Chains A and B, each alone.
Chain A
């Protein structure tokens, strides 16, 4: 190894070391920023949970991150028979679950069916149908709110779960997403092969199509689930009786009922609505985030 060559390697190493330092520095800064963001993301939830254990007086007097001893008392206050009309966690969870699960299942199944139909088959109205779906992708639900409610009143579906579940069958955004996915990663030859094997079209879709687009279904199921679970607008205009209230409606009732201004109770209610979701999320987060990520990989 002559001197010249040695020098070259040395300089390259030095540059490399500098480079590594820079990377480390950058990583550290990003790490600190992430920690800050994490705090911002978590703090509100911590406050909710801590305040759920404190009573009205304590909450009005000061902020604290140290739990107090009033959790049981707050829960008892929430569970009184009078409170049942405002906030009933079991009923809220049950109603939200019925609506959300049904809507999610219908939405992903029929969206997949529609997207599959649009991609796999050739028919005269195919382009028109696709364009239509792309066009109505932009239509916010609010624009037809007046008509929707009047219509539901007219066909006697007012204060009923059906208007919150059935429309999920027609979810343009979900169809759009699945169509993109199928177009980019679904080999149409497989359908041909199934046909040669004498497999019926619907069966092909269910046994071959659906499993192949599982990642897209997963992602859209998560989104649909979250959107429906959190929906406040439609249920609050459709549902009137407390036996059918969804969880978000109960939270709104809890915070705006002027006869229930006990902050311990309100925070406890928020905590009850939020904590199980957080726990479920912690258990499933791997799959959720991975699922969202998986679905994003396309083209």
Chain B
């Protein structure tokens, strides 16, 4: 018994190198194409471009860029905080209705007591907006809502007599934000629904049967069986949506005809993009904003991750410890 444990240890040791070999490509590429640029971005965030915009010389300024963005009262800071606010507003406005609708649909579609004809068809159609290129979607919605009097939506509303005056969809910022959020939810609810459905279908059916026998109603089943069971998937959806939300760029950016982004739909990603790609090539502050975004993502990510997966991880650790004990016990025999 002792000998075999030692054997096992040796065998494990000798296979370790394959572990390193298998994960090496990932880390190599990650270090070169993501980590190095990230570190470089961090370095740039302590510099500032001076001189003419095009042959800018980089001048070391320490934490000045961060101070400008976070502390010094100025239009620069105001714009940055506005961008953070916009990102949060747009993300929340699309994520909450999206997850609610997806969850509802997923529960309905997987409930075998209900008989919704054409389930398969609905699933397929609702997933479809997700495969369509954001650039095409934004262009399409821009042409639907884009121009005051001549957009199709206004034409319809006017011809039906629902409104007297054309609605200024793009010029009224609440409506514009609403449309952007709507596009995002429209694109993603099908995807979220399919993933949640898969997760619900993975729940052991005996749980539902037991609940039914106990006379639980749908709300109770939903709250006490469905949601707890699919929590890992909810976490996954939440995390990915948050990452996507913080780097929200395509739709709000392309939902503008030119490059004059208005202050109500300028997200952090657009802010960063504008800073380093704009005529002034403000690399320093752009990089500083990137680093701040990095920190925000880190904090939010950690919170969501710990809240949701603490128990799982703990259980996992417990199990491992138990196993280790068992092994020890085993060798003691």
- Chain A nearest Cβ from B282, distance in angstroms: 10
- Chain A nearest Cβ from B107, distance in angstroms: 10
Q: Is the CB of B195 within 8 A of A255?
A: no
**B311 contacts partner chain A, Cβ-Cβ < 8 Å:** no
Q: Is the CB of A251 within 8 A of B136?
A: yes
**B331 contacts partner chain A, Cβ-Cβ < 8 Å:** no
Q: Is the CB of A41 within 8 A of B128?
A: yes
Cross-interface CB contact of A247 among B114, B116, B133, B233, cutoff 8 Å: B133
Binds B, one of A5-13, A68-76, A78-86, A114-122: A114-122
Q: Is the CB of B132 within 8 A of A274?
A: yes
**A137 contacts partner chain B, Cβ-Cβ < 8 Å:** yes
Q: Is the CB of A118 within 8 A of B19?
A: yes
- Chain B nearest Cβ from A35, distance in angstroms: 8
Q: How far is the CA of A213 from the CA of B301 in the complex (A)?
A: 27
Q: Is the CB of A166 within 8 A of B29?
A: yes
Chain B residues contacting A190 (CB-CB under 8 Å) are none
Chain B residues contacting A140 (CB-CB under 8 Å) are 243, 246-247, 269, 293-294, 297
- Chain B nearest Cβ from A247, distance in angstroms: 7
Q: Is the CB of A147 within 8 A of B39?
A: yes
Q: Is the CB of A294 within 8 A of B286?
A: no
Q: How far is the CA of A272 from the CA of B117 in the complex (A)?
A: 32
Q: Is the CB of B297 within 8 A of A143?
A: yes
**A97 contacts partner chain B, Cβ-Cβ < 8 Å:** no
Cross-interface CB contact of A146 among B116, B195, B269, B276, cutoff 8 Å: B276
**A163 contacts partner chain B, Cβ-Cβ < 8 Å:** yes
Q: Is the CB of A63 within 8 A of B116?
A: no
Q: Contacts A137-B301, A293-B197, A295-B198; is A118 near B152 (CB within 8 Å)?
A: no
Binds A, one of B67-75, B161-169, B250-258: B250-258
Chain A residues contacting B240 (CB-CB under 8 Å) are 173
Looking at chain B's contact residues, is the secondary structure mostly helix, strand, loop, or mixed? helix
**A111 contacts partner chain B, Cβ-Cβ < 8 Å:** yes
Which A-chain residue is minimally distant from B37 (CB atoms)? A147
**B139 contacts partner chain A, Cβ-Cβ < 8 Å:** yes
Q: Which of B13-61 contact A (CB under 8 A)?
A: 15-23, 25-27, 29-30, 33-41, 43-44
**A268 contacts partner chain B, Cβ-Cβ < 8 Å:** no
Q: Contacts A34-B116, A273-B136; is A233 near B249 (CB within 8 Å)?
A: yes
- Chain A nearest Cβ from B101, distance in angstroms: 8
Q: Is the CB of B20 within 8 A of A123?
A: yes
- Chain A nearest Cβ from B82, distance in angstroms: 17
Q: Which of B135-163 contact A (CB under 8 A)?
A: 135-137, 139-144, 150, 152, 155-156, 159
**B273 contacts partner chain A, Cβ-Cβ < 8 Å:** yes
**B186 contacts partner chain A, Cβ-Cβ < 8 Å:** yes
Q: Is the CB of A270 within 8 A of B118?
A: no
- Chain B nearest Cβ from A143, distance in angstroms: 4
Which A-chain residue is minimally distant from B31 (CB atoms)? A170
**A150 contacts partner chain B, Cβ-Cβ < 8 Å:** yes
- Interface size of A by CB at 8 A reads 101
Chain A residues contacting B308 (CB-CB under 8 Å) are none
Q: Is the CB of B33 within 8 A of A63?
A: no
Q: Contacts A41-B128, A146-B41; is A248 near B135 (CB within 8 Å)?
A: yes
Binds A, one of B92-100, B119-127, B220-228: B119-127
Q: Which of B281-297 contact A (CB under 8 A)?
A: 283, 286-287, 290-291, 293-294, 297
**Most chain A C-beta atoms within 10 Å of own C-beta, residue among B25, B129, B197:** B25
Q: Is the CB of A285 within 8 A of B124?
A: yes
Chain A residues contacting B143 (CB-CB under 8 Å) are 255, 263, 266-267
Q: Is the CB of A143 within 8 A of B41?
A: yes
Q: Contacts A151-B37, A256-B258; is A293 near B247 (CB within 8 Å)?
A: no
Which B-chain residue is minimally distant from A285 (CB atoms)? B124
- Chain B nearest Cβ from A152, distance in angstroms: 9
**A226 contacts partner chain B, Cβ-Cβ < 8 Å:** yes
Cross-interface CB contact of A137 among B115, B202, B239, B258, cutoff 8 Å: B239
Q: Is the CB of A37 within 8 A of B293?
A: no
Q: Is the CB of A44 within 8 A of B141?
A: yes
Chain A residues contacting B142 (CB-CB under 8 Å) are 255
**A136 contacts partner chain B, Cβ-Cβ < 8 Å:** yes
**B210 contacts partner chain A, Cβ-Cβ < 8 Å:** no
**B79 contacts partner chain A, Cβ-Cβ < 8 Å:** no
Q: Is the CB of A296 within 8 A of B29?
A: no
**Most chain A C-beta atoms within 10 Å of own C-beta, residue among B133, B141, B156, B196:** B133
Q: How far is the CA of A282 from the CA of B196 in the complex (A)?
A: 22
Q: How far is the CA of A24 from the CA of B113 in the complex (A)?
A: 9
Cross-interface CB contact of A44 among B120, B144, B155, B290, cutoff 8 Å: B144
Q: Is the CB of A146 within 8 A of B283?
A: yes
Q: Which of B261-275 contact A (CB under 8 A)?
A: 268-269, 272-273
Which B-chain residue is minimally distant from A295 (CB atoms)? B198
**B81 contacts partner chain A, Cβ-Cβ < 8 Å:** no
Q: Sorted from nearest, which 3 A-B pairs have the closest CB atoms?
A: A296-B198, A117-B22, A121-B19
> What are 8 A-B pairs with beta-carbon distances under 8 A?
A63-B155, A123-B16, A139-B297, A144-B37, A147-B40, A226-B131, A251-B133, A277-B132
Question: Chain A: residues with CB nearer than 8 A to chain B?
Answer: 23-24, 26-27, 30-31, 34, 37-38, 40-42, 44-45, 47-48, 60, 62-63, 110-111, 113-114, 116-118, 120-126, 129, 133-151, 163, 166-167, 169-170, 172-173, 175, 177, 180, 201, 205, 226, 229-230, 232-233, 237, 247-249, 251-252, 254-256, 263, 266-267, 270, 273-274, 277-278, 281-282, 285-286, 288-289, 292-299
